């Protein structure tokens, strides 16, 4: 696989996305970030390039991914807007194929199901809560997972419980069948995602990660 030097980021102006961009820059990567409102992104760095646009736009995603060797997404659904998860994944996978990019790491909630899960009653309850209260968002995220499975790229879908937006760090548990903890910090999430981007320890898998 080609060495990764430049990374395309989706959702970079969001809460976890800010941590992600900083982690990538601190690790020496060049970053191309898709942002709808550039004024919302306060990070300034000579290694950071901003692409203004919407993730549902296929052409913008192609422009975003050009010259990149990996894609990382912390995109999240905004209330009242068209569903973004499956359309953005579809656009990313198409552009990855065209541009010969093989690495895609994305963030999701513990509520996404995979055939390999052995969710505890607590995790099932949290999943069912999403299904009951946000059925369309849940369905769209599930559709995004199906698109990943049908693709032939090296994706990793990282699943997390409640996120605490702090720089704090603790030992984390990685599990392929169930989410064992109740929370995780944004800082620990992005460390895991960036490491996974380069190491591919969980390629074509959906690990749960949480604080121990
Ligand atoms: N927060 C939690 O406790 C939690 C728990 C489990 C899982 N998650 C998942 O973790 C991920 C990150 O969560 P977060 O709380 O950090 O998210 P967030 O702060 O809500 O940020 C979401 C980002 O996605 C961007 N976005 C949404 N629709 C877009 C579109 N059509 N085109 C381009 N960008 C778009 C938003 O851009 P704008 O700023 O332009 O709207 C924003 O930057 C999400 O997938 C979420 O479901 C979160």
Sort residue 28 into left (φ over 0), alpha (ψ -120 to 50) or beta: left
Domain 6-211, CATH 3.40.50.720 — does that match?
yes
With the most atoms of ligand 1 within 8 angstroms of its CB, the residue from 10, 11, 20, 91 to mutate is: 11
Using a pLDDT cut of 90, give the percent of the chain over it.
99
Ordered by start, the domain boundaries in the chain are 6-211
Q: Rounded to the nearest 5 degrees, what angle is found at the Cα of 144, between the Cα atoms of 195 and 169?
A: 30
- What value does the mean pLDDT take over residues 97-116? 98
Please write the tens of the pLDDT for every residue from 135-159.
999 999 999 999 999 999 999 999 9
The yes-or-no verdict on residue 1 having pLDDT over 90 is no
Task: Average the pLDDT over 80-97 and give the result.
Answer: 98
- Measured from the Cβ of residue 136, the count of other Cβ atoms closer than 10 Å reads 9
Give the binding-site residues of ligand 1, using a 6 Å CB cut-off: 11, 13-17, 34, 36-37, 40, 54-56, 74-76, 78, 84, 107-109, 160, 162-163
Q: Output the DSSP codes for the chain.
A: -PPP-EEEEESTTSHHHHHHHHHHHHTT-EEEEEES-GGG-----TTEEEEES-TT-HHHHHHHHTT-SEEEE---PPTTSPP-HHHHHHHHHHHHHHHT--EEEEEEETT---TT----HHHHHHHHHHHHH-HHHHHHHHHHHHHHHHS-SEEEEEEESEEE-SS----EEEESS---SSEEEHHHHHHHHHHHHHH-TTTTB--EEEE-
CA 139 to ligand 1 centroid distance, Å: 17
Mutate to test the pocket of ligand 1, among 16, 20, 187 (most ligand atoms within 8 A of CB): 16
Query: What's the pLDDT band for 2 if we cut at 50, 70, 90?
Result: low
């Amino acid at each position: 696989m080609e060495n990764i030097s430049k990374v395309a980021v989706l959702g970079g102006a969001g809460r976890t996305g800010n941590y992600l961009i900083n982690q990538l820059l601190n690790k020496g990567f060049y970053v191309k970030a898709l942002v709808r409102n550039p004024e919302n992104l306060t990070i300034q760095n000579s290694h950071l390039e901003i692409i203004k646009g919407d993730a549902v736009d296929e052409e913008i995603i192609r422009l975003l991914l050009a010259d990149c060797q990996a894609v990382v997404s912390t995109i999240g659904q905004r209330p009242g807007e068209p569903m973004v998860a499956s359309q953005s994944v579809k656009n990313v996978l198409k552009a990855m194929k065209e541009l010969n990019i093989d690495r895609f790491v994305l963030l999701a909630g513990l509520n996404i199901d995979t055939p390999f899960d052995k969710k505890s009653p607590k995790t099932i309850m949290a999943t069912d809560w999403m299904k009951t209260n946000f059925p369309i968002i849940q369905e769209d995220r599930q559709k995004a997972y199906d698109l990943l499975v049908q693709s032939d790229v090296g994706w990793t879908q990282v699943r997390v419980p409640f996120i605490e937006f702090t720089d704090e760090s603790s030992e984390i548990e990685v599990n392929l069948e169930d989410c064992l903890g109740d929370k995780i910090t944004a800082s620990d999430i992005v460390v895991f995602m960036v490491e996974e981007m380069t190491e591919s320890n969980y390629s074509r898998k959906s690990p749960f990660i949480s604080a121990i």
